[in-house]
Amino acid sequence: MHKGFVVYVVAFLSVMLAVPALVTYFDTSTAPRANEPVRLTHDAHEPTIRIFLTKERRVVTLPLESYIRGVVAAEMPAHFHLEALKAQAMAARTYIAERLAKGDFSDMRSYGEAAEDAQVTDSPVHQAFVTDEQLKAEWKDRYPSYSNRINQAVQETRGKILLYGGKPIYAAFFSTSNGQTENAEDYFRRSYPYLRSVPSPWDRESPKYRAQIRYATSEVVRRLEAFTGKKLVAQSVAGANWISGAERTKSDRIRRIRIGDQWFTGRQVREALGLPSTDFTWSIRGGTILFITQGYGHGVGMSQWGANLLAKQGRSAEEIVRYYYRGVTIGNWR
**Does residue 104 lie in a domain region?**
yes
**Is 227 a domain residue?**
yes
On whether both 272 and 127 belong to a single domain, the answer is: no
pLDDT for position 238: 65
At residue 173, the pLDDT reads 97
**222 and 189 in a common domain:** no
Of 257, 334, 317, residue with least CA distance to 291:
257
Amino acid 31: pLDDT = 55
Quick check: is 22 in a domain? no
146 falls within a domain: yes
Query: Are residues 215 and 100 part of one domain?
Result: no
Query: Are 80 and 156 in a shared domain?
Result: yes
- In this structure, the answer to whether residues 199 and 323 fall within a common structural domain is yes
Domain range for 105 is 48-205+299-332
Which residues 6+ apart lie within 8 Å of 101 measured at CB?
167, 168
Tell me if 12 is assigned to some domain. no
Q: What is the pLDDT of residue 23?
A: 34
Same domain, 260 and 138: no
In a domain, 229, yes or no: yes
Strands (E), 29-116: 48-53, 58-63
- Does residue 323 share a domain with residue 268? no
Beta strands in the chain (DSSP E): 48-53, 58-63, 120-121, 160-164, 167-168, 173-174, 210-216, 243-248, 254-259, 262-265, 280-285, 288-294, 302-303, 329-332
Q: CB atoms < 10 A from the CB of 102, how many?
A: 10
Q: Which of 158, 206, 156 is nearest to 178 (CA)?
A: 206
The CB density around residue 234, as the number of other CB atoms within 10 Å, is 10
Tally the domains of the chain: 2
Q: Are residues 239 and 170 in the same domain?
A: no
pLDDT in tens, the chain (334 residues): 444 444 333 343 343 344 333 333 333 335 555 457 888 888 878 999 999 999 999 999 999 999 999 999 999 999 999 999 999 999 999 999 999 999 999 999 999 999 999 999 999 999 999 999 999 999 999 999 999 999 999 999 999 999 999 999 999 999 999 999 999 999 999 999 999 999 999 999 999 999 999 999 999 999 999 999 999 986 667 666 789 889 999 999 999 999 999 999 999 999 999 999 999 999 998 889 999 999 999 999 999 999 999 999 999 999 999 999 999 999 998 7
Provide the pLDDT for residue 22.
Answer: 33
Q: Is 120 exposed, middle or buried (0-12, 13-18, 19+ CB in 10 A)?
A: buried
Question: In this structure, is residue 30 part of a structural domain?
Answer: no
Q: Are residues 116 and 199 in the same domain?
A: yes
Interatomic CA distance for residues 160 and 68, integer angstroms: 11
Same domain, 186 and 280: no
Q: Are residues 283 and 164 in the same domain?
A: no
Under DSSP, the state recorded for 181 is -
Query: Whose CA is closest to 326, among 203, 176, 200, 158?
Result: 200
Q: How far apart are CA 135 and CA 146, in angstroms?
A: 9
Count other Cβ atoms within 10 Å, centred on residue 212.
9
Q: Is 34 part of any domain?
A: no
- Which distant-in-sequence residues (6+ apart) come within 8 Å of 294 by Cβ? 178, 179, 209, 210, 277, 279, 280
d(CA 23, CA 16): 11
Nearest to 117 by CA among 52, 48, 21: 52
Tell me which long-range contacts 117-120 makes (C-beta under 8 A, separation of at least 24).
Answer: 117/50, 117/59, 118/50, 118/51, 118/52, 118/59, 119/49, 119/50, 119/51, 120/49, 120/50, 120/51, 120/52, 120/96
Are 174 and 229 found together in one domain?
A: no
